[in-house]
């Protein structure tokens, strides 16, 4: 799905540092999501946003923050409060309401230095 761009592809975080993962979509999708994926595990929802200037916590929101100032952008900040941030982070989006699929970006792999 070339319409969802995540950057960077790889990111390293130092102790006590906040880092921000970018997610941009040009699909005109209303809803956007952030998931965390650990090795051998499924996708766990961090945050999601249905419309601009609104977002909801998912199942593992602690240590993370988001913003949705523009429809096409949904950045995720991994704060220093997240003690185990090493994981593969996936952004997804969906058009509107109803029974529709999500489409995913290529992911960002975050590691601790």
Q: Which residues bind another protein (CB under 8 A)?
A: 1, 31, 33, 40-45, 48, 50, 58, 88, 90, 94, 97, 99-107, 109
We find the least distance from the C-beta atom of residue 72 to another protein, in angstroms, to be 17
Distance CA 105, CA 18 (A): 22
We find the least distance from the C-beta atom of residue 48 to another protein, in angstroms, to be 6
Indicate the pairing of strand 87-94 with strand 103-104. Answer: antiparallel
- Please give the structure tokens belonging to residue 30: 């209303």
We find the least distance from the C-beta atom of residue 88 to another protein, in angstroms, to be 8
Distance CA 35, CA 85 (A): 12
When the beta carbons of 18 and 56 are compared against another protein, the nearer one is: 56
């Amino acid at each position: 799905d070339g319409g969802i761009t995540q950057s960077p592809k790889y990111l390293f975080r130092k102790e006590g540092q906040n880092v921000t993962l970018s997610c941009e979509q040009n699909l005109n999708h209303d809803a956007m999501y952030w998931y965390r994926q650990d090795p051998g595990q499924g996708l766990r929802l961090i945050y999601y946003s249905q419309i601009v200037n609104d977002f909801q916590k998912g199942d593992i929101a602690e240590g993370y923050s988001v913003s949705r100032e523009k429809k096409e952008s949904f950045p995720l900040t991994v704060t220093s409060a997240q003690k185990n941030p090493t994981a593969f982070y996936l952004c997804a989006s969906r058009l509107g309401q109803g029974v529709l699929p999500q489409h995913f970006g290529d992911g960002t792999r975050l590691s601790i230095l």
